[in-house]
Amino acid sequence: MPAKNGKQFLDRINLAKPSVWFRGEQIDGRLSDHSAFRGLMSAQAELYDMQLHPDLKERMTYTSPTTGDPVGLSFLQPKTVEDLRKRRQMMMLWGEKHHGLLGRSPDYMNTGLMAFFAAADVLEEKDPRFADNLRKYYEYCRENDSSLSHAFVQPHASRFDELLDDGSIESCAASILEENEDGMIVTGAFLLATQGVTTDEVLVYPPASLYMPEENNPRTFAFAVPNNLPGIRWICRETLVGGDSGYDYPLSSRFDEMDTLVIFDRVLVPWERVFIHGDDHLSMRLFSESGFHVHSAYQVLCRYIAKLEFTLGIILYMAESLDKSGSPSTMEKVTEVIVHLETLKSLLIASEAGASLDRFGSMLPDRKPLWTANVIFPKIYPRMMEIIQLLGGSNIIMIPSERDFAGSSRPDLDKYLRGGGIDAYSKTALFRLAWELSSSGFGGRQTLYERFFFGDASVVANRLYQSYTDKEAYIGKIKSFLGEKNE
């Protein structure tokens, strides 16, 4: 199946029936009927529908080089700046649809997979089979419009090694336990496999060991499998869906991406789905040489911009409805949001302006502005939420529900809760939106998620610092400046 529509997305997910556990019980009905999933899946289905919408199809898909069918544009390996722009426009279309609230909209993982695919030559050097696996898998996903999640962060406990009585060491770190002709048998657990249950496939790649790299490390691998293989168990977190009412819960009724703890208990991974097998160096090289973080950061920056535009709109509308647009204190806060939005937009423009071909023929955006955005966003997003709270105050707390408006309190609500140029019903809708984004459980998870999207602050800063190749040049300028003095 080429680029799919929403119904096809829903049908496939409902058919898969992975082993999903929610509040201690296994879900056995259709996932899209479950209160914790139906809103999210419907929002995702809308994204997929856009692919085949006559007005958008051309901007959302391209022609498959193998079948001639339209396939999702996020699978496209960009080879020119024009390709980059096409990808950006497509990602913006999706981003504006989900307002940046879906960290795992399909383009995120599709982009990552594309990056690995484009760099498959790296794997070729050691064993052509793994390179071949990767290329075929990419093609499979592109042609079937498979949706993916990924899993790579292991629980804290995976770092504990315990010495058993017989002298052996026991650890719960993910590892290859056995291998046979069909594949390798893997056990372990991963945190925060976001949308693992509402996508078709999961890509698993624990980070390689940096300090003592080995060639046959049983803890180092990368593979992708359907999410319903025997031995895979998905344990859901608390649902943050407030309810089905789009009026009461404009965000959580649609955009609560479920995070899961995924357990692999002696899962047999078929060889044709294995990309990395034991080689720490190769694992690191695939990761860094493919520009995975660069391509992702480009997609994510589009999402950041959509989210900040949505936030700015909310803030401006709040100010207006509270008759505060003209106050110096409001203007100061709004300008802060504008400054951040203009900064992100400029970083995106600069990353394209500085794009260059890498050795695999991919047009790689300039990583410096992108990784700068990755440092900035986790700091400003919580501040934007703070601004919503500071601007809205008690208006964010005192929000009646759709049913209050349907009942006998309506005349009082209409009288007392209207705002500047806005009736009480619409104003309450606005402040429920502000509440969900800034102060609800849904909002709390969004803030946490953004803080750590690409790792904690030091990891993200370090990525930029280490890659900043201009450091010596800048020192050189100072040496030359001082040298003039010395002579």
8 Å CB contact between 223 and 274: yes
Residue choice 8, 21, 64, 140 for contact with its own copies (CB under 8 A): 21
Q: Which two tokens stand for residue 303?
A: 């999402």
Q: Which residue has the tokens 């292991």?
A: 154
- Check binding of 441 to its own copies (CB under 8 A): yes
Angle between helices 424-439 and 367-392 (to 10 degrees): 130
Considering only residues 122-141, where is the footprint of its own copies by CB under 8 A? none
Nearest distance from C-beta of residue 93 to its own copies, angstroms: 14
CA angle 246, 247, 248 (to 5 degrees): 95
* 228 interacts with its own copies by CB under 8 A: no
Residues 6+ apart with CB under 8 A from 422: 320, 321, 430
Give me the phi and psi of 134, to 5 degrees please: -65, -45
Contact flag: residue 339 with its own copies (CB under 8 A): yes
- Least Cβ distance, residue 301 to its own copies (angstroms): 11
Q: Report in angstroms how near the CB of residue 213 gets to its own copies at its nearest.
A: 21
Q: Which of 120, 219, 443, 454 binds its own copies (CB under 8 A)?
A: 443
Contacting its own copies (CB under 8 A), which of 199, 290, 362, 440?
440
CB of residue 36 vs its own copies: minimum separation in angstroms? 12
What's the min distance (Å) between Cβ of 32 and its own copies?
20
Find the shortest distance in angstroms from Cβ 133 to its own copies: 28
> Read out DSSP for 185-252?
EEEEEES--TTSSSSSEEEE-PPPPSSS--SS-TT-EEEEEETT-TTEEEEE-------S-TTT-TTH
CA distances from 208 to 158, 171, 215, 219 (A): 14, 16, 11, 8
**Residue 421 touching its own copies (CB under 8 A):** no
For residues 275 and 282, what is the distance between their CA atoms, to the nearest angstrom? 10
Binding of its own copies at residue 164 (CB under 8 A)?
no
Contact window for its own copies (CB under 8 A) among 75-83, 140-148, 266-274, 371-379: 371-379
Nearer to its own copies, 123 or 241 (CB): 241
Rounded CA separation 182/30 (Å): 31
Identify whether the C-beta of residue 188 lies closer than 8 Å to the C-beta of residue 218.
no
- 29 vs 68, beta carbon nearer its own copies: 29
In the region spanning residues 264 to 283, those forming contacts with its own copies, defined by CB under 8 A, are 265
347 belongs to the binding site for its own copies (CB under 8 A): yes
Q: How far apart (Å, rounded) are the C-alpha atoms in residues 76 and 97?
A: 21
Residue 134 or 318: the one with the smaller Cβ distance to its own copies is: 318
Closest CB 142 distance from its own copies, rounded Å: 30
Minimum separation from the CB atom of position 285 to its own copies (A): 24
- Tell me: does residue 376 bind its own copies (CB under 8 A): yes
Q: Rule CB under 8 A: say whether 323 interacts with its own copies.
A: yes
- Is 102 a binder of its own copies (CB under 8 A)? no
- Return the exposure string of 40-74: e unless at least 16 CB atoms fall within 10 Å of the residue's CB, then b: bbebbbbbbbbbbeeeeeebbbbebeeeeebbbbb
Q: Does 407 bind its own copies (CB under 8 A)?
A: yes
Tell me: does residue 310 bind its own copies (CB under 8 A): yes
From the list 54-62, 110-118, 293-301, 318-326, the region that binds its own copies by CB under 8 A is 318-326
Task: Assess 198 for contact with its own copies (CB under 8 A).
Answer: no
- Binding residues for its own copies, rule CB under 8 A, total 126
- Using CB under 8 A as the binding rule, whether residue 314 contacts its own copies is answered as yes
Is residue 189 part of the contact set for its own copies (CB under 8 A)?
Answer: yes
Distance CA 79, CA 37 (A): 37
The piece of 28-36, 76-84, 126-134, 467-475 that touches its own copies (CB under 8 A) is 467-475
The gap from C-alpha 244 to its chain's centroid, in whole angstroms, comes to: 24
User: Which residue type sits at 53?
Assistant: H
- Shortest distance in whole angstroms from residue 64 CB to its own copies: 32
Distance of alpha carbon 126 from its chain centroid, rounded? 31
452 interacts with its own copies by CB under 8 A: yes
Q: Find the helix packing angle between 81-98 and 292-321, rounded to 10°.
A: 40
* 394 is an interface residue for its own copies by CB under 8 A: yes
Regarding 177 and contact with its own copies (CB under 8 A), the answer is no
Give the amino acid at 95. G
Q: Is 155 in the site for its own copies (CB under 8 A)?
A: yes
The least distance separating its own copies from the CB of residue 292, rounded to whole angstroms, comes to 20
Stretch of 27-35, 48-56, 57-65, 444-452 contacting its own copies, by CB under 8 A? 444-452
Question: Considering only residues 27-86, where is the footprint of its own copies by CB under 8 A?
Answer: none
Q: Identify residue 413 by its one-letter amino acid code.
A: L
Q: Distance between CA 484 and CA 487 in Å, rounded?
A: 6
Segment near its own copies (CB under 8 A); pick from 82-90, 151-159, 207-215, 284-292: 151-159
Q: Which CA distances in Å does 414 have to 318, 319, 322, 391, 408?
A: 18, 20, 15, 22, 11
Q: How far apart are CA 83 and CA 89, in angstroms?
A: 10
Would you count residue 398 as binding its own copies (CB under 8 A)?
A: yes
